[in-house]
Amino acid sequence: MKEMTDICPFFLQDLTLDPETAHPNLVLSEDRKSVKFVEQRLRDLPDSPRRFTIYPCVLATEGFTSGRHYWEVEVGEKTHWALGVCNDSVSRKGETTSLPETGYWRVRLFNGDKYAATTTPFTPLHVAIKPKRVGVFLDYEAGKLSFYNVTDRSHMYTFTDTFTEKLWPFFYPGIRAGRKNAAPLVIRPPTDWE
């Protein structure tokens, strides 16, 4: 398993979020670096075959068919979120299960303190220190997708699979419940690695 310091900054990706894929309950920042859930659906969004209509998530504008790529996402004090990648061919218009078998490789936080890799069944993750920022490292040819707690520089989980399609970085900010979970997910440049 690679250490975080071996990964960054060599494979850093400057990602932006793709508004054409964003669910109607999601709002992107002007610079397309952050996303948050809003209870009022946005109207007058152009219909796009790339837009998610059931699952409130958004993809990056950059997708990958080869190579090694790293990005970081600020999750802050959120109580619910999911990050990872998905295949180009995933269902965007109907109900789906977000598992490797259906083209999703994700780590998630739910109920405020439960971390899991979305495998079948879910793999609970032990997290000693709650991450404020999560690093995601994709090694396409090796078939590995790794997640790191940037807060304490610890490894969270690695998926191993055979990737055959274009993979898109995936962001699910969680559903807002009143004032809880209102903060956005934010794509950030990497922290100090010295």
Q: Whole-angstrom Cα distance, residue 173 to residue 185?
A: 6
- The identity of residue 78, as a single letter, is K
pLDDT score of 193: 47
Q: Which tokens sit at 78?
A: 């959120």
Could you list the beta-strand ranges (E) of the chain: 26-28, 34-37, 58-59, 68-74, 81-87, 104-110, 114-117, 123-125, 133-139, 144-149, 154-160, 167-172, 185-188
Task: Please give the chain's pLDDT, 194 residues, in tens.
Answer: 456 656 656 788 899 999 999 999 999 999 999 999 998 776 677 778 889 888 899 999 999 999 999 999 999 999 999 999 999 989 887 777 788 998 999 999 999 999 999 999 999 999 999 999 999 999 999 999 999 999 999 999 999 999 999 999 999 999 877 678 889 999 998 665 44
